[in-house]
Each structure stands twice: as structure tokens, then as C-alpha cells.
Structure 1
Amino acid sequence: MKSKHENGQKNGDFDELARFGISVFLTTIARFVLRIAKNVIISRVIGPSGRGILGLVTLVPDTLINLGHLGLGQADLFYLGKRKYPLEKVVGTNMVMAFLVGIALAGIGFIVFNTPYFYKQDFNLINSFSVIIIALIPVLLFSHYMEFILFAIKDIHFINISDILRSLLPIIFFVVIYLVFHEGIKAAVYSWILSSAIICMLFSVRLFRYVGRRPKFSLPYVKRGTLFGLKAYLGDLLNFLLLRIDYFFVSAFLGTRELGYYIISVSIAELIQSMPDAIVIPAIPIILGRKNEDSQGFTPTVIRCIVAIVVVGCILVGVFGKIIISVLFGHKFLPAYLPLLFLLPGMIARSIYPILKTEIIGENRPIVVSILSGTALVCNILLNYYLLPKMGVTGAALSSSIAYWLATILALRIYIKSSANSVREVMLVRKKDITGIYRYLIS
């Protein structure tokens, strides 16, 4: 029988979750619409090959950021969530690290952009954007750190605004640049660059309002933060590669046109994954701030609600996906439908994995997350090598879904052992979960 304290703790967690519910829900809807609009407008103008080029140009800096962030963002999330370091020291340390590490990453970026192996087609065009994107890398790394800090201090409303701007600003800049210069691919790339720089500036202004004084560099926090962060870093890097390694394979094996089809498949599938963000985004810092024994009832409820939302989304997209692609992107993108079908099952696993991963990290076991993501990544790489030549981009989609489920099943097994919950308790959606989702969103 649960004590009054335990019930009070649980109710308090749901109250805290509900405080952000309507805000995050409205943001999810707005972001959902804007992401569709952005993809539709840009993809219709630049076509499948152009979409593949844009995907590669933005993937290189994203990969480098994940290669070089050293897990400091996860350390910020953990130590600020536990209130073990003052905010001004965390912000100041992140600023210095972003500058120093960003310069090193820029050097690696120069090498990557000048290596033709990754680009079966359009190498010269992709390389023409290298200088400005390389210069942007320290800015992107700083933005990466700042978002983690805002997340840790639970500034959910500002994160919601920035998420909307991430999709809105590229649309505005793309339309303006394209109308002026009439070059679709350049307009798409430069709109992404300008949007990224503005988001970083907004993060900086917001955090300085919280700090209220000059940020301070802390060498002890560098040591302690990177020591913790390096444990989580490998898991973050491997998880990112798990999600995006297939882009490099499709580009190297099949070229930018096929990559363009695949990116549309992934973008539609990831929209489904974003549907339960109204639950996922507020839940993660709450879980990290709780004691381990307090998560037994809270986390399974969150996971079941996510499963309910994503399963419905997958069914709808599976049935109407061909119509969606044809109406929104045009008949030239219809080859994206088959790989989309193979991606949908993986979205269920991918949507609940962040919650399970957060539980494991919250127990101070980030190395376990690294092992899980690494195992799934190896599986994904091997399957891509085998299936891409046989099935084309559909093989990449199947490889990803299998790898996502592998990581999630392993994480679920670990969570069940540590929490004393059953698979049924965690995964099987109940009627009260459906009604709970409705009440949560309107609370």
C-alpha cells in the first residue's frame, strides 16, 4: 500500500507535467504544421536531388556537433537538475568550451567536406557551401549547450517558442532569398544557416536574463562535467549515428536523388514521433529530478500515453501516406512511400526510447546507454550494408526500424529489472490512459 507521501509525490509530478501540457500541446501542433509547410515548400522547389543535397549539407555540421559536444549538455541537465552547480558557472563554462571545441570541429569539417567518398553525386555543389557552414560550427555547438541548460531549468515555454521558430524562420528566409535570387538549393541552405544563427542568439539572450550576472568559467566544472558527460557522450554520439548513419549510406551507395526520397520518408515518420512531445518534453527533466523509487508509477504512465498516440499516428500515415506524399510533395516524391511504411514500426520504439534512456541516465548509468546505442548502431550498419544493394532506400528504412526496436527492447529490459514494473504495466495501453491524455492536454 502506497503512503500519502508517495501518492503526493506522484500527484505532484503529474501536476508539474500538466502545467506545461497545453503549452507544449499547442507548440506541437504549431511545429507540426510548420515542419510540414517547410518541407513541402522547400522540397517542391528543389526536387528530390536538391532535397538530398540539403540533407547532406546540414547533416555534416550536425554530425560534427554530436562528435564534439563531449556530453557536456547531459552533464548540465544532470547537475542543474540536481542543483549541484550554480547557473552562472555552468553557462560560463559552456561558453568557453563551445568556442574551443568548436574551432577543432571546424577543422574536421574542412576535411569531411573535401572527402568525395561520402558524396556519390553533386560533390562540387555540396563543397561550395563548406566555408560558411564550417564557420557556423562553434555557433551551433554553443546553441546545443544552451538548449540543454534551458531544458534543465525547465524553461519549457521558451523552448516551445524556439521550436516554432526553428521551422518558421527557414520558411521566411527561403521564400525571400528564392524570390530575390531564384536559386532553390542556395536559398534552402542559406535559410537554414540564418535561422540557426538567430536561434543561438535568442538562446544567449534568454540565458543571460536568468544568470543576472557575468557568467563564470569553472575549471572544476569542466573536469566534473566532462567526466560525467563523457559517459553520456558516447551514448549520445552513437544514438545520433543510429538515427542518421543511413543518410551517409544512401548518399554513398545510391546518390542524392534516392537520399531525397528517403529524407521525405524520414521527415514524415519523425512528425509522428513528435506528436507526443507534449508529454515527452516536460517529463524528461521531471524524471531526472526525482528519486529512483518515485518513478515506479510515473514513468510507465508516460510511456503508455506515448505508445497510444504514436500507434494511432502510424496507422493513419500507413493508410493515407501515399495520398499525403502526392498532395503535399507531388508525384515526383511518391517513391518515398514504401520506405515510409517500413519506418513506421520503428517510430513506436524510437518515441519511447528517450524516456527509458532518461531513466537509466537518472540512475547515473550513462555507460549503459552507450552500450545500448552502440549495439543498435552496429546492427544498423550491418543491415544497411546487406539490404541497401538489395532493396534500395527501403532497405535503409527496414534497417533503421530493426535497430530502433533492438535498442528499445534492451532498454526496456533494464528498466523493468530496476523498477520492478512488468512489461504489461509499462507497454499495454489502458482505457484510463486515453482519457488521461485528454484531461492532461486540456488541464
Structure 2
Amino acid sequence: MFNFKLSKTMRDVQWSFISLATASLSHLLLRIVLGRELGPSGLGVYTLVFTIYIFGTQFAAFGIGAALTKYVAEFNDDLAKTKEYISSGMIGSVITGSAMGIILYLLSDTISTNIFNIPEMAYLLKITALCFPFIAINKAVLGALNGFRSMKAFAFIDIALNATVLLVSVFLVLFLDMNIFGAVLGFVIPTIFLGLIAIFFARSNLIYPNKTFLQNDILRNVLRFGFYVVLGNSIGYIYTNIDSLMIGYYLNETDVGFYAVAAIFIQGITLIPSAIQRITSPIITKNHAKKEYGSIVKLLKSVTLKVFLISLLFSLFLMAIGKTLILTIFGEVFLPAYLPLIILLIGYTIYSTFMSIGTFYSSVGHVKLSYKVALLSAILNIVLNIAFIPKYGIIGAAIATSTSLVVLTLVHFAIIRHFVRRVWKLKV
């Protein structure tokens, strides 16, 4: 008899992939609707607002989700300890989320008028600021579930959020004709609603913050760890999205709309490595705690090779049919997105290998390395964008991003190789 029962790891990857695939599909369908209804200019404004929103969530969540993934996985056998960490994380997420919401609300006029010269963005950013405390709670809960490797519940929350964003946005834009305002409300309302729902999944691991609880260092540990995570994540996010922001600064919202279409297809190449990263993170953390370094190296080699081959095949396929897809889905007006798409595929094909193990530094207790490398890469990307965008437009932005992604990947693997050979004393 054949045994077709999936292992725990494969089931986790499956659920992680489903949640990410749902997110990408929802994102694609929504951009199709917005592109057709709002045109390149409207899609460009929405992309700028959404990019600022996603960047803001890095600070709103403050890396607490990643911290909970690490500590919950590390203390998985100590229920009392995990409850203290999860409760501390929830308290911290409310504080950081509220603070970031206030900051964005106060800076919305400056960002809209002085940086992008699009005054109508101001009220859209003020509305966006309302949902930061709730997305912070959501990410804290997801981090805890990831640490427990409760990927089915993790996927449910993630899928519910993305599906609701799609449905509400389409309803407000298509049926109520609310245009960009409706599109922004389309992600603000579901974010608030699902942030509250997420608490339900963490309720059994929450404890009342008594005096002893408040005097210990757990909340401080979570925030300290989260501080370095948010530095790395926010720099990394700037690194991969600075092109869109700088296109908005140097060019206009229509060019942002063209570039956004190229970025939509790029999401397909990040699906599998992003899904695998959610699983490699707790596995590496647990193996590191047990000092099973050989198992970690074996995992790294196997995962990165397989991810590279899959990404390469997907990129070649997308290069072949990309122009047809853009014409069929978005129309001829969006054809300027095709060449940037080809250029971006080169960089992301190579970078996808590191994406699959992207939490390596934090998983082995060297979280500071992630933001240091990300900072150097971000500086390189910004310099290249400044040099190329004014001269070559959105094609220059794609060249800058793709070049810096290749450099970033090489630097990461050089550091990991040095770390494994010098710290763990293993041959690679």
C-alpha cells in the first residue's frame, strides 16, 4: 500500500503557499479592476498610497510578529512562557500601531504635497492611518501562529483578509462608483475588521498583565528583537519599493501605474520562496536551539537550489507570454510595462533563492545582520535609481532594482557561507 499522507512540513508549506497564492491572486484581480476603471493615473495614485501603507505597517507592527515566531518556536514546550511572550506582543502591537497611525495622519499633507505633488492623496493617507493599530495586532497573531506552526489558522486569517479586501474594494469601486476613495476604503475597512477577528485566534494564549508580568523583561525583549527586525524589514521594503516611490517623485502617477503592472506579475515569482520562508524560519530556529547546525546547512542547500530552478522556469515562461498577458488583461495602454517586467524578472529570479531562507539571521540569533546588509543594499538601490530614473524613466528603475537585487543576493550568501564556516566550523 502506498502512503500518500503529507508530512507536517509539507502540509505547512501547502497552507503557506495557498495563503500567499490567494494574496497574489487577489492583488492581481484588484489591480486589473483598478487599472481598467481608474486608468494608469488612478492606479498610480492608489499604488503610491498602498505602498506607503505597507511601508507604514512595518513600523506599526514593529517586527513583533517575527519576534513572536522566534520566541514561541523556541519556548514551544513551555506554555506559561509562550503566553507571556504572546501577551506582551499584543500589548506592544497596540502601542506601536497607534503611534504609527498618529504619525502618518500628521504627516499626510506633507507627504502628499511636498514629496509627490498630489494634494488629493492627503485625505487618502489620513483614512489609511486609522487601520495601523489593527494591522499590528493582526501581524502579532500571525507571528504567534507561525511560531506554533499552526499554518492552517495562519492561512485562514491571511486568506480572509485578502479575499475581503478584494470583495469590498470591487464593490465600492464598481458598484458604488467611489473611485480611488473606494479603493482605499477597500483595504482599510477589512484590515480593521480582520484585526479584531485575529484576537479570537490568540485568546487562549493571552494572560492578564499583572504586576509580576509587567516587571519582567519579556516585553522589552520582544520590542528589542522587533526593533532590529523592523529596521531590516523596513529597509528591505524600501529597497524593493523605492523604485515606485522615486518614479512618483521624478516622473508622475501615470508612470507609477505602468510600473505597478510590471510589479504585479513579479509577485508570481515570489510566491513559492515566500511560502517556504514561513516554514524554514521556525525550523531553523528550533534546529539552532538544539545546535543541529548540519541539519540547517542541509536545509539551506536543498531549499535554495529547488527554489532557483522553479523561479527560473517561471521567469522564462513569463518572458515568453508577458506582452500577451498585458494586452489581454490590461489593454494596449499598459504595454510600456513589458520591458521593465523582463528586466525585473532577472533580478528577482536570483533574489528568490535568498527569499526562501530570508529569516536566517534572526533565526540563528544574529538579527542585526539583516538590517545592516539591507541598509547597504538600499543605499545602492537609491543611488542607482537616482542615476537611472531621470535619464531612462521606468526602464531605468527596473535596471536599478534588478542590479541591486543581484548584488544583495551575492552579499547574503557570502555572509552565510562565512558564518557557517567560521562560527559553526562546518565545511560547505
Q: The TM-score by the shorter chain falls in which range?
A: 0.7 to 0.9
Query: Comparing both chains, which one has the higher relative contact order based on Cα–Cα distances under 8 Å and sequence gaps of 6 or more?
Result: 1
- Do structure 1's residue 196 and structure 2's residue 191 form an aligned pair? yes
Residue 212 of structure 1 and its aligned partner are, at CA, apart by: 6.6
Paired residues for 1:193-272 under 5 Å:
193-208=188-203, 210-211=204-205, 214=208, 218-219=214-215, 220-272=217-269
Structure 1 residues 158 and 368 mapped into 2: Cα distance closer, same or farther (>3 Å)? same
Provide, for residues 257-291 of structure 1, a one-character-per-residue CA deviation record: whole Å limited to 9, x for no partner. Answer: 11111111112112221144453332222122212
Contact 2:239 2:378 in 1 (8 A): yes
Identity among equivalent pairs (%) = 20
Paired residues for 1:26-175 under 5 Å:
26-83=18-75, 86-115=81-110, 116-120=113-117, 122-123=118-119, 125-175=120-170
Structure 1 residues 212 and 130 mapped into 2: Cα distance closer, same or farther (>3 Å)? closer
- Do structure 1's residue 17 and structure 2's residue 9 form an aligned pair? yes
Q: Which residue of 2 aligns with 1:185?
A: 180
Structure 1 residues 108 and 197 mapped into 2: Cα distance closer, same or farther (>3 Å)? same
SS of 1:364's partner is coil
Structure 1 residues 162 and 271 mapped into 2: Cα distance closer, same or farther (>3 Å)? farther
Provide, for residues 339-394 of structure 1, a one-character-per-residue CA deviation record: whole Å limited to 9, x for no partner. Answer: 11111012123322234442222221111111110110000010011000111011
Contact 1:88 1:214 in 2 (8 A): no
Aligned partners of 1:298 and 1:249: how far apart in 2?
37
SS of 2:359's partner is helix
Normalised by the length of structure 2, the TM-score is 0.87
Contact 1:269 1:344 in 2 (8 A): yes
Structure 1 residues 371 and 50 mapped into 2: Cα distance closer, same or farther (>3 Å)? same
Structure 1 residues 279 and 62 mapped into 2: Cα distance closer, same or farther (>3 Å)? closer
Residue 295 of structure 1 and its aligned partner are, at CA, apart by: 0.7
Aligned partners of 2:93 and 2:298: how far apart in 1?
38
SS of 1:225's partner is helix
Q: How many residues align?
A: 407
Normalised by the length of structure 1, the TM-score is 0.85
Q: Which amino acid aligns with 1:235?
A: G
Residue 218 of structure 1 and its aligned partner are, at CA, apart by: 4.0
Aligned partners of 1:21 and 1:105: how far apart in 2?
32
Unmatched segments (≥5 aa) in structure 1? 1-13, 427-443
Aligned partners of 2:274 and 2:148: how far apart in 1?
18
Structure 1 residues 348 and 104 mapped into 2: Cα distance closer, same or farther (>3 Å)? same
RMSD of aligned residue pairs (Cα, Å) = 2.5
Contact 1:60 1:109 in 2 (8 A): no
Residue 239 of structure 1 and its aligned partner are, at CA, apart by: 1.0
Q: Which residue of 2 aligns with 1:434?
A: none
- Do structure 1's residue 283 and structure 2's residue 280 form an aligned pair? yes
Unmatched segments (≥5 aa) in structure 2? 1-5
SS of 1:20's partner is helix
Aligned partners of 1:42 and 1:158: how far apart in 2?
30
Q: Which amino acid aligns with 1:246?
A: D
Provide, for residues 242-261 of structure 1, a one-character-per-residue CA deviation record: whole Å limited to 9, x for no partner. Answer: 12222221111111111111
Q: Which amino acid aligns with 1:377?
A: A
Q: Which residue of 2 aligns with 1:340?
A: 341
- Do structure 1's residue 410 and structure 2's residue 411 form an aligned pair? yes
Structure 1 residues 35 and 106 mapped into 2: Cα distance closer, same or farther (>3 Å)? closer
Contact 1:356 1:412 in 2 (8 A): no
- Do structure 1's residue 387 and structure 2's residue 381 form an aligned pair? no
Structure 1 residues 73 and 163 mapped into 2: Cα distance closer, same or farther (>3 Å)? closer
Q: Which residue of 1 aligns with 2:3?
A: none
Aligned partners of 2:273 and 2:220: how far apart in 1?
36
Q: Which residue of 2 aligns with 1:439?
A: none
Residue 96 of structure 1 and its aligned partner are, at CA, apart by: 2.2
Q: Which residue of 2 aligns with 1:273?
A: 270
Contact 2:388 2:396 in 1 (8 A): yes
Bigger drift between 75-84 and 43-52 goes to 75-84
